Amino acid sequence: MENYHSLNVVVERMLSDPSIKETINALKIELQRSREPFVWKTINIESMHDNLPKNIRSAWIFILRRDTPSAAHYHPNSVQYTAMIKGNGRAIIDGDHRELKPFDPTRDKKTWIVIGENIPHKFFPEEEDMVVISFHTCLDNELREIEVDSKRQRLYRKE
């Protein structure tokens, strides 16, 4: 997908929505109470379908704990499009080290990290908790994650 403009439009719209700001604040509180390295919430994208690329089927907000790397993992059933909304950090994607750039709708492709199916990746939030918005090419109840080292599988379903 080479047209990042539509993703930028959707993210700008999301960030101006008071309910998204409330979600981010609630997730920050949840992360403080949790021992997990990150917390998340799926975002209803029904009203955004006309602006999203056709392959996008779900949207997520993740808050990653500062100075706590995620486990290296991959998604066998989804391509991931991620933009860092707040924070600092870097990622390793298929062995390639990348500094994460803050979301900037004028920078199109440079703002986005695109991770293909079965591509190992790991995030390193630095100095503060990192807020990211991710879009996936599978439905939210279908997203699978497999840790590289342990082979442990996770389905992202919150009960």
Q: Is the dihedral of CA 61, 72, 70, 114 positive or negative?
A: negative
CA dihedral 8, 13, 16, 22 (to 10 degrees): -100
The pLDDT score that the predictor gives to residue 2 is 55
Q: How far apart are CA 154 and CA 147, in angstroms?
A: 8
Question: What is the band of 68 on the pLDDT scale with cuts at 50, 70, 90?
Answer: very high
Give per-residue pLDDT as tens, 96-155. Answer: 999 999 998 887 677 899 999 999 999 999 999 999 999 999 999 999 999 999 988 877
**Which of 27-31, 81-85, 102-106, 132-136 is the least confident region?**
102-106
Share of the chain above pLDDT 70, in %: 96
Q: Nearest 5°: phi and psi at 29?
A: -65, -45
With tokens 């993992």, the residue in question is 73
Between 156 and 44, the higher pLDDT residue: 44
The pLDDT score that the predictor gives to residue 159 is 42
Would you say domain 5-155 falls under CATH 2.60.120.10? Answer: yes
The pLDDT score that the predictor gives to residue 98 is 92
**Which of 26-35, 54-63, 105-114 is the least confident region?**
105-114
Is 80 exceeded by the pLDDT of residue 49?
Answer: no
Tokens read off for 15: 């960030």
CB 104 within 8 A of CB 134: no
Is 80 exceeded by the pLDDT of residue 23?
Answer: yes
Q: How far apart are CA 66 and CA 115, in angstroms?
A: 22
